Structure 1
Amino acid sequence: MKNKLMVDCETLDIGERPVLLSIGAVVFNDQQIQDYFEYFINKETAISEGFTVSQSTLDWWDQQDPDARAYAFNGEGDIQEALKALVQFYELNECTEIWSKG
């Protein structure tokens, strides 16, 4: 049975290279969810790599529930480590597809 990876990210822009606040993913097949992945990123590590922030997205975040905002902006991880960990998660679970909106 083929494993697939579904990815969801919280971001600070809607452009091609937005700052990632977090990456969430699940491995699944036609029968069940196999495994979970979650990584919270320090936004400054992404900004230093040239990822983008838009004022309209910051404004949107300002309108969200304070607990949700605090949760999203609490990352301590490095963007490069987050992306490497996601690739390793994909490979470890022998995924054949990636699903994501956007």
Structure 2
Amino acid sequence: MSMELNAAIDIETLDRAPTAVVLSIGCAVFNRAGGILGTFHRVLSKLEQHRVGRTVGVDTLAWWKEQDEQARVLLTTPGDSVSGALHDLRHFLDSHAVAGVYGYGADFDNATVRSLAQTFGVDEPWHYRKNRCGRTVVALAGDRIALPERVGTHHNALDDAIFQARHIAAALNALNTEN
């Protein structure tokens, strides 16, 4: 079994476009056994992002109103500096020497974090060659894997990242791939 570490990243946003206001970023570093070896979570300043033109979707706002109260608290939580959080995420990923960063969708989580970094003029938190799609890996594994137990709050970026890390690890093992 490979000893490489990977990371699963999840974000909560106010739009479905890569230019979305990002409410929070969650990240879980995992090994092939599905063990979680480190976590990162930041709630980001919405005001800071509004000021630079990040987008908000009316349909996404309506969707948030239908979510559990534990998830909706994110809408009113003051956030950290976006640049500072992105620097911290880069340091977190570098400190674990991750081989790949898996988003749950080829064109959303990773692309939105990249867009956010570009908007704020900071280095991307990981090299583009480390981009991975968790949904693709899980789909390829198909019915050879079972869903891991879901704990925490749905639409909490860290809880979702941990779930996705365990799901992706199971898929990688079923496919017997390196990363």
- CA-based RMSD: 1.3
CA deviation profile, 1:15-46 (whole Å, cap 9, x unmatched): 02111100001001112211011101121112
Aligned twin of 1:64? 67
Higher relative contact order (CA 8 A, sep 6+): 1
* Contact 1:7–1:24, Cα closer than 8 Å, also in 2: yes
CA deviation profile, 1:38-71 (whole Å, cap 9, x unmatched): 101121112223311111111111112233201x
Out of 7, 19, 40, which is 1:17 matched to? 19
Q: TM-score, normalised by structure 2?
A: 0.53
Higher helix fraction (1 or 2): 2
Separation of aligned partners in 2, 1:6 and 1:75: 24
Separation of aligned partners in 2, 1:90 and 1:22: 16
Higher strand fraction (1 or 2): 1
Unaligned runs of 5+ in 1: none
Superposed, 1:72-91 pairs within 5 Å as 72-73=74-75, 74-91=77-94
Separation of aligned partners in 2, 1:46 and 1:85: 18
The 3-state SS of whatever aligns with 2:61 is helix
Aligned twin of 2:40? 37
The 3-state SS of whatever aligns with 2:99 is strand
Runs (4+) off by over 4 Å: none
Separation of aligned partners in 1, 2:6 and 2:96: 9
> Aligned residues: percent identity?
32
Deviation at 1:76, TM superposition (A): 2.1
* Contact 1:21–1:75, Cα closer than 8 Å, also in 2: no
Q: TM-score, normalised by structure 1?
A: 0.90
Unaligned runs of 5+ in 2: 109-179
